[in-house]
Amino acid sequence: MLFFKSKNITTLTDNELIAEYKKKGDNTVVGELYTRYSHLVYGVCLKYLKNEDESKDAVLEIFEQLLVDLLKHDVTNFKSWLHSVSRNHCLMFLRKEQTQLKRANEYQYAFSETDSYETPFQVHEKETQEVQLTDLEKALTELKEEQRACIELFFLKEKCYEEVAEITGYTLLQVKSYIQNGKRNLSIKLNN
Protein backbone atom coordinates (compact mmCIF):
# COMPACT_ATOMS: atom_id res chain seq x y z
CA MET A 1 0.00 0.00 0.00
CA LEU A 2 2.85 2.44 0.88
CA PHE A 3 4.56 1.71 -2.46
CA PHE A 4 1.34 2.53 -4.29
CA LYS A 5 0.99 5.83 -2.40
CA SER A 6 4.56 6.94 -3.16
CA LYS A 7 4.11 5.96 -6.81
CA ASN A 8 1.08 8.27 -6.97
CA ILE A 9 3.09 11.15 -5.51
CA THR A 10 5.84 10.80 -8.09
CA THR A 11 3.38 11.16 -10.96
CA LEU A 12 1.91 14.43 -9.66
CA THR A 13 3.03 17.79 -11.06
CA ASP A 14 4.67 20.37 -8.81
CA ASN A 15 1.45 22.39 -8.57
CA GLU A 16 -0.53 19.26 -7.69
CA LEU A 17 2.02 18.39 -4.99
CA ILE A 18 1.78 21.88 -3.51
CA ALA A 19 -2.02 21.74 -3.55
CA GLU A 20 -1.89 18.34 -1.85
CA TYR A 21 0.50 19.68 0.79
CA LYS A 22 -1.72 22.70 1.47
CA LYS A 23 -4.74 20.43 1.78
CA LYS A 24 -3.28 17.66 3.97
CA GLY A 25 -0.02 19.06 5.38
CA ASP A 26 1.75 15.80 4.55
CA ASN A 27 5.53 16.28 4.70
CA THR A 28 6.15 13.42 2.28
CA VAL A 29 4.86 15.73 -0.45
CA VAL A 30 7.64 18.21 0.32
CA GLY A 31 9.96 15.19 0.44
CA GLU A 32 9.05 14.51 -3.19
CA LEU A 33 9.85 18.14 -4.08
CA TYR A 34 13.16 17.66 -2.25
CA THR A 35 13.88 14.57 -4.34
CA ARG A 36 13.12 16.47 -7.54
CA TYR A 37 14.94 19.72 -6.81
CA SER A 38 17.53 19.32 -4.04
CA HIS A 39 20.35 18.95 -6.57
CA LEU A 40 19.31 22.19 -8.29
CA VAL A 41 19.08 24.05 -4.97
CA TYR A 42 22.50 22.67 -4.03
CA GLY A 43 23.91 24.03 -7.30
CA VAL A 44 22.52 27.50 -6.62
CA CYS A 45 23.84 27.45 -3.05
CA LEU A 46 27.28 26.27 -4.17
CA LYS A 47 27.41 29.05 -6.76
CA TYR A 48 26.85 31.71 -4.10
CA LEU A 49 28.40 30.22 -0.96
CA LYS A 50 31.37 28.48 -2.64
CA ASN A 51 31.53 25.97 0.21
CA GLU A 52 30.18 22.41 -0.01
CA ASP A 53 29.27 21.98 3.65
CA GLU A 54 27.57 25.37 3.93
CA SER A 55 25.70 24.63 0.70
CA LYS A 56 24.46 21.28 2.00
CA ASP A 57 23.30 22.96 5.21
CA ALA A 58 21.58 25.68 3.19
CA VAL A 59 19.67 23.09 1.12
CA LEU A 60 18.29 21.53 4.29
CA GLU A 61 17.39 24.92 5.75
CA ILE A 62 15.64 25.98 2.55
CA PHE A 63 13.52 22.83 2.34
CA GLU A 64 12.78 23.04 6.06
CA GLN A 65 11.52 26.59 5.52
CA LEU A 66 9.43 25.39 2.57
CA LEU A 67 7.24 23.50 5.05
CA VAL A 68 6.09 26.89 6.31
CA ASP A 69 6.40 29.02 3.16
CA LEU A 70 4.35 26.74 0.91
CA LEU A 71 1.39 27.17 3.25
CA LYS A 72 1.69 30.97 3.10
CA HIS A 73 2.38 31.63 -0.56
CA ASP A 74 0.52 30.90 -3.78
CA VAL A 75 3.19 29.40 -5.98
CA THR A 76 2.41 28.92 -9.67
CA ASN A 77 5.88 28.19 -11.07
CA PHE A 78 7.58 26.22 -8.32
CA LYS A 79 10.94 25.71 -10.01
CA SER A 80 11.62 29.42 -10.63
CA TRP A 81 10.15 30.38 -7.23
CA LEU A 82 12.44 27.84 -5.53
CA HIS A 83 15.42 29.25 -7.43
CA SER A 84 14.59 32.75 -6.14
CA VAL A 85 14.09 31.47 -2.60
CA SER A 86 17.44 29.65 -2.76
CA ARG A 87 19.28 32.68 -4.14
CA ASN A 88 17.74 34.97 -1.50
CA HIS A 89 18.61 32.52 1.27
CA CYS A 90 22.25 32.50 0.17
CA LEU A 91 22.42 36.27 -0.19
CA MET A 92 20.94 36.73 3.29
CA PHE A 93 23.44 34.21 4.67
CA LEU A 94 26.34 36.08 3.05
CA ARG A 95 25.03 39.45 4.20
CA LYS A 96 24.64 38.21 7.78
CA GLU A 97 28.12 36.69 7.72
CA GLN A 98 29.58 39.92 6.33
CA THR A 99 27.72 42.04 8.88
CA GLN A 100 28.95 39.92 11.78
CA LEU A 101 32.52 40.15 10.52
CA LYS A 102 32.20 43.92 10.06
CA ARG A 103 30.78 44.38 13.56
CA ALA A 104 33.50 42.21 15.08
CA ASN A 105 36.14 44.29 13.29
CA GLU A 106 34.51 47.58 14.35
CA TYR A 107 34.24 46.37 17.93
CA GLN A 108 37.84 45.18 17.97
CA TYR A 109 39.06 48.45 16.46
CA ALA A 110 37.00 50.61 18.81
CA PHE A 111 38.28 48.88 21.91
CA SER A 112 41.74 47.77 20.77
CA GLU A 113 43.56 49.99 23.22
CA THR A 114 41.79 48.72 26.34
CA ASP A 115 44.26 45.95 27.04
CA SER A 116 47.00 48.07 28.63
CA TYR A 117 46.52 47.16 32.29
CA GLU A 118 49.50 47.42 34.61
CA THR A 119 49.44 44.89 37.39
CA PRO A 120 52.21 43.84 39.78
CA PHE A 121 51.65 40.17 39.03
CA GLN A 122 50.95 38.09 35.95
CA VAL A 123 47.21 38.17 35.20
CA HIS A 124 45.77 35.25 33.30
CA GLU A 125 43.96 35.94 30.05
CA LYS A 126 40.57 35.00 31.51
CA GLU A 127 41.04 37.34 34.43
CA THR A 128 42.10 40.11 32.05
CA GLN A 129 38.95 39.59 30.00
CA GLU A 130 36.87 39.71 33.18
CA VAL A 131 38.49 43.02 34.17
CA GLN A 132 37.92 44.41 30.65
CA LEU A 133 34.27 43.37 30.66
CA THR A 134 33.74 44.92 34.08
CA ASP A 135 35.37 48.16 32.92
CA LEU A 136 33.28 48.12 29.74
CA GLU A 137 30.05 47.60 31.69
CA LYS A 138 30.96 50.47 34.02
CA ALA A 139 31.86 52.73 31.10
CA LEU A 140 28.58 51.87 29.36
CA THR A 141 26.59 53.01 32.40
CA GLU A 142 28.45 56.35 32.34
CA LEU A 143 27.38 57.13 28.75
CA LYS A 144 24.45 59.36 27.93
CA GLU A 145 21.24 57.33 27.76
CA GLU A 146 20.86 57.76 23.97
CA GLN A 147 24.42 56.60 23.30
CA ARG A 148 24.19 53.67 25.71
CA ALA A 149 20.90 52.43 24.23
CA CYS A 150 22.17 52.64 20.66
CA ILE A 151 25.53 50.99 21.48
CA GLU A 152 23.85 48.12 23.34
CA LEU A 153 21.35 47.47 20.56
CA PHE A 154 23.93 47.72 17.77
CA PHE A 155 26.86 45.80 19.29
CA LEU A 156 25.37 43.57 21.97
CA LYS A 157 21.97 42.76 20.44
CA GLU A 158 23.40 42.85 16.87
CA LYS A 159 20.68 45.09 15.47
CA CYS A 160 21.27 47.05 12.26
CA TYR A 161 21.02 50.85 12.15
CA GLU A 162 17.45 50.72 10.86
CA GLU A 163 16.36 48.32 13.62
CA VAL A 164 17.99 50.50 16.29
CA ALA A 165 16.16 53.53 14.88
CA GLU A 166 12.86 51.65 14.89
CA ILE A 167 13.29 50.41 18.47
CA THR A 168 14.51 53.69 19.95
CA GLY A 169 12.43 56.09 17.86
CA TYR A 170 15.51 58.09 16.87
CA THR A 171 16.20 59.03 13.26
CA LEU A 172 18.79 57.04 11.31
CA LEU A 173 21.22 59.99 11.45
CA GLN A 174 20.75 60.30 15.21
CA VAL A 175 21.41 56.56 15.68
CA LYS A 176 24.63 56.73 13.66
CA SER A 177 25.73 59.81 15.57
CA TYR A 178 24.95 58.27 18.98
CA ILE A 179 26.86 55.11 18.09
CA GLN A 180 29.88 57.01 16.77
CA ASN A 181 29.98 59.39 19.74
CA GLY A 182 29.30 56.53 22.15
CA LYS A 183 32.23 54.52 20.77
CA ARG A 184 34.51 57.53 21.08
CA ASN A 185 33.35 58.23 24.66
CA LEU A 186 33.76 54.57 25.62
CA SER A 187 37.29 54.57 24.22
CA ILE A 188 38.11 57.71 26.21
CA LYS A 189 36.66 56.28 29.43
CA LEU A 190 38.42 52.92 28.97
CA ASN A 191 41.82 54.49 28.24
CA ASN A 192 41.82 56.80 31.29
CATH number (domain holding residue 142): 1.10.10.10
Percent of the chain past pLDDT 70, that is, above it, reads 85
Task: Read off the pTM.
Answer: 0.50
- Please report, for the domain that includes residue 27, its CATH number: 1.10.1740.10
| 152 and 91 assigned to the same domain | no
pLDDT at 9 exceeding the cut of 80:
yes
| 77 and 155 assigned to the same domain | no
| 22 and 78 assigned to the same domain | yes
Closest by Cα among 41, 42, 19 to 29 = 19
What is the Cα–Cα distance from 22 to 32, expressed in whole angstroms? 14
Task: Region of 50 please: left (phi>0), alpha (psi -120 to 50) or beta.
Answer: left
| 15 and 53 assigned to the same domain | yes
pLDDT of residue 119: 46
Confirm whether 187 is domain-assigned: yes
pLDDT at 188 exceeding the cut of 90:
no
Average pLDDT taken over every residue of the chain: 83
Which of the pair, 147 or 4, is modelled with greater confidence? Answer: 147
DSSP assignment string, the chain: -HHHHHHHHHHS-HHHHHHHHHHH--HHHHHHHHHHHHHHHHHHHHHHH--HHHHHHHHHHHHHHHHHHHHHS--SSHHHHHHHHHHHHHHHHHHHHHHHHHHHHHHHHHTTT------SSPPPHHHHHHHHHHHHHHHHHHS-HHHHHHHIIIIIS---HHHHHHHH---HHHHHHHHHHHHHHHHHHHH-
Domain, as residue range, for 143 = 124-191
pLDDT of residue 152: 86
What is the Cα–Cα distance from 7 to 151, expressed in whole angstroms? 57
| 85 and 19 assigned to the same domain | yes
pLDDT at 131 exceeding the cut of 80:
no
Domain total of the chain: 2
Confirm whether 103 is domain-assigned: no
Average confidence (pLDDT) over 56-77: 91
| 70 and 132 assigned to the same domain | no
Confirm whether 36 is domain-assigned: yes
pLDDT of residue 43: 94
Which of the pair, 103 or 158, is modelled with greater confidence? Answer: 158
Confirm whether 107 is domain-assigned: no
Q: Are 190 and 114 in contact (CB under 8 A)?
A: yes
Confirm whether 3 is domain-assigned: no
pLDDT of residue 190: 79
Average confidence (pLDDT) over 51-69: 93
- For the chain, how far is it from start to end, CA to CA, in angstroms? 77
| 61 and 133 assigned to the same domain | no
Confirm whether 2 is domain-assigned: no
Average confidence (pLDDT) over 21-37: 91
Confirm whether 46 is domain-assigned: yes
**The domain boundary residue, chosen from 98, 116, 143:** 98
Which of the pair, 129 or 155, is modelled with greater confidence? Answer: 155
pLDDT at 71 exceeding the cut of 60:
yes
pLDDT at 54 exceeding the cut of 80:
yes
Average confidence (pLDDT) over 87-95: 90
**Sign for the pseudo-dihedral over CA of 59, 65, 71, 76:** negative
- Which band of pLDDT confidence, cut at 50, 70 and 90, is reported for residue 120? very low
Average confidence (pLDDT) over 162-187: 90
| 17 and 90 assigned to the same domain | yes
Q: How crowded is residue 186: how many other Cβ atoms within 10 Å of its Cβ?
A: 23
Confirm whether 31 is domain-assigned: yes
What is the Cα–Cα distance from 111 to 106, expressed in whole angstroms? 9
